[in-house]
Amino acid sequence: MGEVWKARFVKNDRIVAVKLLPQDMQDETVLARFEREVGLLRDMRHPHIVHTFGGMTDGEKGPGNTANRRFYAMEYLTGGTLQDLLERNERLSPATVVQYARQICAALAFAHDRGVIHRDLKPGNFLLADDGALKLADFGLAAVREGNKLTAEGRTMGTFRYMAPEQIRGRPPACPQTDLYALGVVLFELLTGTPPFAGATPAETLQMHLKKPAPRVVSREPHCPPGLDALVANLLEKRIEDRPPNAVEVGVRLGGLDDQITLRTRPAATADVPPKIRPAASADDDDLTAPPPPPPRPAAARPDAWVKWTAVGALGLCAALLPLAVSWREGSAALDRAEGRWITNLQQGSPADRAAAATTLGELGEDGDANYAALRNALDGDEDELVRAAAAGALASFPSEQGELASVLTKVERVEASERVRTAARSTRQSLEGDADVPGGRGSTLWAWVLGLLAALGAAFVAFKG
């Protein structure tokens, strides 16, 4: 159908990917579908959808004239696709699959909210950015509800291994649950290494999608958490009404799997060929070629009294700190779950909800591992000025990133069209510049406690030794 080239935009030296249709393409349906894809992607700005910069859909006619080639430019991503990742690793861990699935759901919820059904979800259409973020691409077969229909009623469009039953039959029309069925196929394949249905021919595979009950993930991957296995089975229901109602609910259910993913992990792999260990020689062993037994180890010297008392004190200190360590670990896990849910809220929902999520992530601050990246994505890519302003204000909670943020916020002040966003960026930049002069910073209190504890242990050591 076309080609994709790596290209350089000569006005600013930006590297992009350019998708072109063949110059001799005359199929009016293909041309209309391509032009609609350009329009769809240009208007869909989301952190987990490939960003499109626009293109050209018409030009002068004439032999040898390349001006009439249809093309559009999009961001250039170098991380490959989920298909590439799957081929390298055969299958992915449940924790990784859940992480990717939540990003996919955020992209689908955004598209579905705008009446766009992708209709061609598959591992090859999910691209990986340098930072590991997942981005949905290739809306060439997308259907727009209540819009111009380019697919005749009853016509089948899609990739046969990932098609929902209604998509195969061509009726009823594609809906959000059609994409959710394909999502179930993708998750099944990521978890097990193979799709749920793979017949000897495309026709056989399509019949399996229509009539054969989907296998459970645990039948091929026993270590899959039960909640994730149940969710994939729910996505693969034959009837539309039996599947989850929307991508938002799927994202919420994925967020509730954190405890299962943490507790149920795959056992560590063992070596293919264990080393051979010779049994210990007995008194009747006449094998003179065997090596002599090692000499007995000398008895350890008895410790001095101060050593014993120091050990007792160290054990007592560890026993006192153990409950604190357990409490910190439980609190950290809870914080990670809360952080994930607010990041999901930042990527979907109304502008007011996304702005509230940005503010909350700012309050969590540097205690969260992914808060900074999520707020940067919102500042750079959210379509609503309220959300971008909230993200700019929330970044004031990340003084450790002051060096990078100085240039980012300065650029926002210079090029941002919204006065609200520029004001928030200016306030955050000034706040961070003020924090840079304050001694101490994150972790200073913790280090003070650690140094004090070491000093006390040192004093106890000297006292006992004396």
Higher pLDDT, 248 or 60: 248
CB 38 within 8 A of CB 32: no
Coil, helix or strand at residue 257: coil
Residue-wise pLDDT for 62-78, tens only, equals 454 555 677 888 889 98
Q: Are residues 87 and 43 in the same domain?
A: no
Number of independent structural domains in the chain: 3
Residue 287 lies in a domain: no
Nearest-angstrom CA–CA distance, 195 and 364: 39
**Residue 217 neighbours by CB under 8 Å, 6+ apart:** 188, 191, 192, 224, 228, 229, 232, 233
Q: Are residues 317 and 422 in the same domain?
A: yes
Q: Are residues 226 and 327 in the same domain?
A: no
Residue-wise pLDDT for 434-460, tens only, equals 755 444 444 444 455 556 566 666 655
The enclosing H or E element of 116 equals strand 116-117
Residue 273 lies in a domain: no
Residue 281 lies in a domain: no
Residue that finishes a domain, picked among 75, 94, 129 = 75
Residue 110 lies in a domain: yes
Q: Are residues 371 and 255 in the same domain?
A: no
Can you read off the two tokens belonging to residue 66? 């390349």
Q: Are residues 62 and 96 in the same domain?
A: no
The enclosing H or E element of 459 equals helix 444-465
CB 68 within 8 A of CB 58: yes
CB 123 within 8 A of CB 36: no
Asked whether the predicted pLDDT for residue 180 surpasses 80, the reply is: yes
Q: Are residues 122 and 231 in the same domain?
A: yes
Q: Are residues 100 and 230 in the same domain?
A: yes
Q: Is 120 an annotated catalytic residue?
A: yes
Residue-wise pLDDT for 258-298, tens only, equals 777 764 444 333 222 223 333 333 333 334 333 444 444 54
Asked whether the predicted pLDDT for residue 61 surpasses 80, the reply is: no
Nearest-angstrom CA–CA distance, 399 and 405: 9
Q: Are residues 155 and 122 in the same domain?
A: yes
Can you read off the two tokens belonging to residue 461? 């050591």
Burial zone of 319 (CB within 10 Å; 0-12 exposed, 13-18 middle, 19+ buried): exposed
Residue 381 lies in a domain: yes
Q: Are residues 106 and 217 in the same domain?
A: yes
Residue 463 lies in a domain: no
Residue 460 lies in a domain: no
Q: Are residues 256 and 224 in the same domain?
A: yes
Q: What's the mean pLDDT in 309-334?
A: 58
* CATH code of the domain covering residue 231: 1.10.510.10
Q: Are residues 176 and 244 in the same domain?
A: yes
Q: Which of 52-66, 82-96, 152-166, 255-269 has the highest mean pLDDT?
A: 82-96
Residue that finishes a domain, picked among 60, 75, 90 = 75
From 27, 43, 120, 435, active-site residue? 120
Nearest-angstrom CA–CA distance, 431 and 425: 10
Q: Are residues 134 and 230 in the same domain?
A: yes
What is the residue range of 43's domain? 3-75
Q: What is the pLDDT of residue 154?
A: 39
Residue that finishes a domain, picked among 75, 104, 120 = 75
| Residue closest to 66 by CA, chosen among 23, 30, 26 | 23
Residue 449 lies in a domain: no
Percent of the chain predicted with pLDDT > 70: 66
Residue-wise pLDDT for 376-410, tens only, equals 888 988 888 888 998 898 888 888 888 888 888 99
